[in-house]
Amino acid sequence: MQISAKDKQTLRQLAARYSELAHLEVQQERIERYYQTNALEPVRPVVLISEVPWGEIRDEALRNTCVPELGWLETRLRCALYQWDHFQVDLVIPPLFEVGKQIRSSGIGLAIEEVLIKGDTGAYIAAHEYHDVLQTDEDLEQLHAPEITYDREGTEAAVAVAEEVFAGLLPVQAVGGQLQYSIWDQISQYRGVENLLYDLAVRPEFSHRLARRFTDIALATFRQFRDLDLLYPNPYLLHCTAACSRELPAGDFAGQVRYQDVWGRCAAQIFGSVSPEMHDEFDLSYNQELFGECGLLYYGCCEPMDTKVEILRRRFKNLRKISITPWADPERAAAQIGGDYVLAAKPNPAFVSSPTFDPVPVKKEITAYMEACRRHGTTCEFVLKDISTIANRSENLTQWAAAVKGVIDRYCA
């Protein structure tokens, strides 16, 4: 697209500062800590803040002034610069501006039916009431693998815009993604929560047929991503967490990205209330097939995994990182994880939701993790995410970052 002189000047000013930050020595120091974390080395924990409800931060620095067609680029630059100035923690602004490859899917043959309640906080989080459209084998027969297409023309156009903006400042590269799929989180959108959990107990055979069908859909999707060269072996982040690893791509990598060259990520948030045995039978047994060939694996999201580490250990030889949520016990989690995996701690986002920030519960929470990980020789990281509100106060995030830093400073140089 043609960028007007005014818009180009605006974007170039933002890009110049972005580039300046990207070339700071601290970026390489943080990137190295990302690598060390995923190598399970004893290192100061990486702390990140993600999934910010940007709509609650009404600051002139975040107001877009360019034409809407440039919003994808302007918003990204403004948010990165604002976060750096106010709550950067261990944010990395890399010396390369990445543009995601534009990927299209034809769908899987059945539409989600839901009632959606969306807030106005600028968070992606919303309430969903899903209607059950997968009650029978006849419903199941409607499902099929999607056709994945790569919009090369659209991607190249986006890269061209970014290259014009960053000319002489930073290189620009189109990048693909990782292998990410959560079987039961997908199924829950077609069934709702209660029906899904009920059928695990009373219709286990049907539940297995559901899992089988969605596994086959994922396998077909993964093959297309691989064959279309839509996988990226060198990401800085994987679902908000540090992803840099010297083990990826694999040692015999020759240019064509394969499963063994990338991260895999899966979860079963809806299984937070099922037993380890049921979790293993209905989820992990299928995910072992899906993700067993990946170079490294990150398991979990919001479901508490502190009592289920052993079932992960038995299933996945490539497991490297386990999500541990505010509903899990840090001591129990670290005791089971030991030095074998990264404990990816998700601090409680409720602590930044109040009109008055209280550092006491934040410090108590982080201290519990630090003590547990020190006792058990566990590498950990912290990612504040799933933030539904900050009570219209960006300073809550600034103060949270300071409180966490203060705790970690007591344990690490």
Radius of gyration of the chain measured on its C-alpha atoms: 22
What is the rounded average pLDDT for all residues in the chain?
96
Contact 394, 54 (CB under 8 A): no
pLDDT at residue 90 tops 70 = yes
Q: Per-residue confidence at 128, pLDDT binned at 50, 70, 90? A: confident
Q: Count CB-CB contacts under 10 A for residue 246.
A: 8
- Helix (H) / strand (E) element for 380: namely strand 379-384
Q: Per-residue confidence at 123, pLDDT binned at 50, 70, 90? A: low
Question: What's at 195, amino acid-wise?
Answer: N
pLDDT one-digit tens code per residue, 275-315 = 999 999 999 999 999 999 999 999 999 999 999 999 999 99
Q: Per-residue confidence at 115, pLDDT binned at 50, 70, 90? A: confident
Q: What percent of the chain has pLDDT over 70?
A: 99
Q: Look at strands 319-324 and 296-299 and give their pairing.
A: parallel
**pLDDT value for 114:** 84
- pTM across the whole model: 0.95
Show the tokens assigned to 247: 């083990």
Work out the average pLDDT over 376-399. 97
For residue 33, give the 3-state DSSP assignment: helix
pLDDT one-digit tens code per residue, 316-356 = 999 999 999 999 999 999 999 999 999 999 999 999 999 99
Q: Of 100, 45, 47, 56, nearest to 82 (Cα)?
A: 56
pLDDT at residue 368 tops 80 = yes
Show the tokens assigned to 33: 């800590």
**pLDDT value for 129:** 84
Q: How many helices (H) and strands (E) does the chain have?
A: 14, 15
DSSP 181-245: --HHHHHHHHH-HHHHHHHHHH-HHHHHHHHHHHHHHHHHHHHHHHHTT-B-S--SEETTEE---
pLDDT one-digit tens code per residue, 170-202 = 999 999 999 999 999 999 999 999 999 999 999
Question: How far apart are the C-alpha atoms of 398 and 165, rounded to whole Å?
Answer: 30
Q: Where are the beta strands (DSSP E) in 55-122?
A: 97-100, 103-105, 114-118
